[in-house]
Amino acid sequence: QVQLVQSGAEVKRPGASVKVSCKASGYSFTTYGVSWVRQAPGLGLEWMGWISGYNGHTNNAQKFQGRLTMTTDTSSTTAYLELRSLRPDDTAVYYCARDSVGTTGVVDYWGQGTLVTVSS
Amino acid sequence: DIQMTQSPSTLSASVGDRVTITCRASQSIGDWLAWYQHKPGKAPRPLIYKASSLESGVPSRFSGTGSGTEFTLTISSLQPDDFATYYCQQYNYYSTFGQGTTVEV
């Protein structure tokens, strides 16, 4: 069965970076993409960016331009999200989700979420 | 980025009610719109894709309509399992979620 298993919770200081991993199994990693979505406390879902599992092409929401890096390791079928220059309002649960391979689409399977807390 | 605006933000309803949620896009997105159901502690579940196509396994009481900039999600007869938060998502240009509509008792 399709599974996306994310790394554990993180606590970071403002200005630091965080890297979240998302290990995919149960499907052909290179025929799908991965989107990253976050949910801050009490708020809704926010799409952050997408990466193709086939060729590593990415696109991301303008607000994260310059702070966000998404990568994949096809040998381990793992996607990574790195967010830099963290601020307290980056505190959120970060989800990876299976997406289309060529561009963004409907995300069907989701990881369990990774809580990132940014606090001094 | 394309902005998605849902209304209402919160909706009070009872079992058996017909419920309608609206989603408006800041520019035309064709029919590249999905709807999700989200419950606390669970992953969001896709309900509708391409504005009106029902995902496999989703009950037929859920339906979606619209194209261009205005879309609706309708639950024809609300069931106890349907109390949740619903999000629209455009995927015409990158992706954007609406702010969510919570359906509560």
Inter-chain residue contact B94 with A108, CB threshold 8 Å: no
pLDDT given for residue B8 in this prediction: 95
Pair A70, A80: CB distance under 8 Å: yes
Inter-chain residue contact B1 with A45, CB threshold 8 Å: no
Outline where DSSP puts E strands in B18-84.
Answer: 19-25, 33-38, 45-49, 53-54, 62-67, 70-75
pLDDT given for residue B1 in this prediction: 82
Phi, psi (degrees; rounded to nearest 5) at A2: -70, 130
Residue with tokens 């830099």: A84
Phi, psi (degrees; rounded to nearest 5) at A99: -135, -175
pLDDT given for residue B41 in this prediction: 86
Q: Say whether residue B68 is in contact with chain A using an 8 A CB cutoff.
A: no
Please give the Cα distance from A58 to A103 (Å, whole number). Answer: 9
Inter-chain residue contact A106 with B95, CB threshold 8 Å: no
Strand partners of residue B70 = B24, B67
Query: Which residues does chain B have within 8 Å of residue A111's beta carbon, measured at their own beta carbons?
Result: 43
Inter-chain residue contact B95 with A104, CB threshold 8 Å: yes
pLDDT given for residue A105 in this prediction: 86
* CA closest to A40 among chain B residues: B99
Residuewise pLDDT in 10s, chain A (120 residues): 999 999 999 999 999 999 999 999 999 999 999 999 999 999 999 999 999 999 999 999 999 989 999 999 999 999 999 999 999 999 999 999 999 888 888 899 999 999 999 999
Inter-chain residue contact A61 with B1, CB threshold 8 Å: yes
Q: Say whether residue B86 is in contact with chain A using an 8 A CB cutoff.
A: no
Pair B36, B22: CB distance under 8 Å: no
Residues of chain B with pLDDT under 50: none
- What value, to the nearest 5°, has the Cα angle with vertex B56 and ends A72 and B75? 115
Q: Give residues with Cβ within 8 angstroms of A28, minimum separation 6.
A: none
- What value, to the nearest 5°, has the Cα angle with vertex B84 and ends B91 and A35? 30
Please give the Cα distance from B92 to A106 (Å, whole number). Answer: 11
Please give the Cα distance from A110 to A98 (Å, whole number). Answer: 6
**What is the pairing mode between strands B10-12 and B101-104?**
parallel
Residue A41's alpha-carbon distances to A38, B40, B51, B89, in angstroms, are: 10, 12, 28, 20
Tokens matching residue A7: 């790394």
pLDDT given for residue A103 in this prediction: 85
